[in-house]
């Protein structure tokens, strides 16, 4: 359980303008400035904010088999009737039918729903509470729950979608009962969010018609990556919004040290069997490097080469090898040879880092890795190898974008005087 306190909300009206660079007051602060437990999740979606918000409002959670299974498990544990999908008309409509009340709304951007409830009951009753009474509502042995849908436009076809839940008990008895309930239910609620957000992203991006939306077409994929490796067998994408201009973010790509303890541990795990075998044979292997920058990545022994670059926008590096082998089976291939290389038994890896403007002076950092095999034999070997390493690769890439973001924001704060209008403070 997480405990969190938030300062008292202000009195900004729903449609009041805010100065450039200043965050708008979030509506949830008006109804849950304090919370015993809370959870916040966000995701970047390549679609306009209005469309993302529309998809979220009308989304059917039970259309996701894993989410349906979680709700069935809860019902089984509490001996309640299983969830039904009769006449489902979307997330907001269904929650209102259950008793949730709409507390506040910014059309197409933000929605806050709330209710008083005893969630530990097998069949909880959600009691709607009027917005002007929500803060003062103190019926004994209940918790007040608020949750949000928020679509923040970062560009014509890029949205940061956020959902947050806050829980506040009305008395000590409710606090004790909620703690016990949350020990088992909290995990399921987090899993529902983690499953629902990617599904909402897929639906929103599916609805975007590229031919009818040239802005989406221009911003949807890294041009250099599409040119050098348009078809592939596996890919992972990680994206983050950086509170720094694109030129600062791009500079951080080259100089950020991506070798933190988590990444070092994963590299050590991958190298472990080879090190044991080398020691058994009386040989040695080089230690895991102390740093991992773009310069380190392009050392000759890595097999990586720069395939192409658009200054301050996109860098693409690649390699060819048998990555499932102990020593990766590197095959040195030039940038000119890479697109057409098709020698049997190999895989081609392309790593792309792409920066775009996003939001008020910020930037979007996208990190994508694609792998394509050259024949069916290589494809079979790569598939079983990929099943083993994919979770680790995703974690490493996630850490990388986070470290680059922190480095870029550190540099930007260091060069921006605190007294400058609209400047951020570290």
**Which residues does 386 contact at the CB level (< 8 Å), separation at least 6?**
233, 234, 371
pLDDT in tens, 283-306: 555 555 566 677 777 676 677 899
Distance, CA of 361 to CA of 99 (rounded, Å): 41
Helix, strand and coil percent figures for the chain, each rounded to 5: 40, 25, 35
The residue among 12, 49, 31 whose CA lies nearest residue 155 is 49
Distance, CA of 46 to CA of 208 (rounded, Å): 9
pLDDT in tens, 228-270: 999 999 999 999 999 999 999 999 998 887 777 666 666 666 5
User: Interhelix angle for 172-207 vs 65-77, to 10°?
Assistant: 160
Distance, CA of 328 to CA of 292 (rounded, Å): 18
pLDDT (0 to 100) of residue 354 = 93
The residue among 11, 7, 40 whose CA lies nearest residue 150 is 40
pLDDT (0 to 100) of residue 9 = 29
CA 160 to chain centre: 10
The residue among 300, 305, 315 whose CA lies nearest residue 253 is 315
Domains present along the chain, CATH in parentheses: 4-9+23-209 (3.30.530), 221-415 (3.30.530.20)
Burial 325-339 (b: 16+ CB within 10 A, else e): eeeeebbebeeeebb
pLDDT (0 to 100) of residue 206 = 87
Bridge partners (DSSP) listed for residue 165:
39, 147
User: Interhelix angle for 49-58 vs 172-207, to 10°?
Assistant: 120
pLDDT in tens, 318-328: 999 999 987 88
């Amino acid at each position: 359980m997480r405990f969190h306190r938030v300062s008292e909300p202000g009195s900004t009206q729903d449609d009041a303008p805010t100065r450039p660079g200043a965050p708008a007051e979030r509506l949830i602060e008006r109804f849950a400035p304090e919370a015993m437990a809370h959870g916040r999740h966000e995701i970047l979606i390549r679609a306009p904010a209005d469309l993302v918000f529309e998809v979220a409002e009308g989304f059917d959670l039970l259309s996701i088999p894993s989410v349906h299974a979680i709700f069935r498990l809860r019902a089984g544990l509490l001996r309640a009737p299983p969830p039904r999908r009769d006449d489902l008309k979307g997330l907001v409509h269904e929650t209102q039918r259950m008793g949730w009340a709409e507390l506040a709304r910014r059309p197409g951007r933000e929605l806050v729903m709330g209710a008083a409830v005893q969630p530990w009951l097998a069949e909880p009753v959600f009691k709607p509470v009027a917005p002007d009474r929500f803060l003062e509502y103190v019926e004994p042995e209940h918790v007040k729950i608020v949750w949000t849908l928020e679509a923040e436009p970062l560009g014509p076809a890029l949205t940061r979608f956020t959902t947050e839940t806050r829980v506040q008990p009305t008395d000590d008895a409710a606090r004790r009962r909620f703690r016990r309930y949350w020990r088992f239910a909290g995990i399921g609620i987090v899993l529902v969010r983690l499953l629902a957000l990617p599904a909402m992203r897929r639906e929103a991006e599916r609805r975007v018609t590229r031919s009818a939306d040239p802005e989406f077409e221009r911003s949807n994929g890294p041009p250099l990556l599409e040119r050098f490796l348009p078809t592939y067998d596996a890919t992972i994408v990680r994206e983050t919004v950086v509170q720094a201009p694109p030129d600062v973010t791009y500079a951080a790509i080259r100089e950020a040290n991506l070798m933190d303890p988590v990444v070092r541990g994963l590299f050590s795990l991958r190298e472990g069997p080879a090190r044991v075998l080398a020691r058994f044979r009386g040989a040695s292997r080089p230690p895991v490097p102390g740093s991992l920058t773009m310069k380190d990545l392009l050392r000759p022994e890595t097999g990586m080469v720069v395939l192409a670059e658009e200054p301050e926008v996109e860098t693409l590096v690649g390699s060819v090898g048998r990555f499932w082998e102990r020593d990766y089976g590197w095959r040195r291939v030039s940038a000119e040879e890479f697109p057409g290389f098709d020698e049997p038994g190999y895989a081609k890896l392309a790593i792309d880092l792409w920066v775009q403007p996003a939001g008020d002076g910020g930037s979007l950092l996208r990190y994508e890795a694609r792998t394509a095999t050259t024949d069916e034999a290589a494809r079979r070997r790569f598939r079983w190898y990929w099943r083993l390493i994919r979770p680790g690769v995703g974690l490493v890439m996630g850490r990388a974008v986070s470290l680059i973001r922190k480095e870029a924001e550190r540099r930007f704060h260091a060069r921006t005087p605190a007294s400058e209008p609209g400047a951020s403070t570290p």
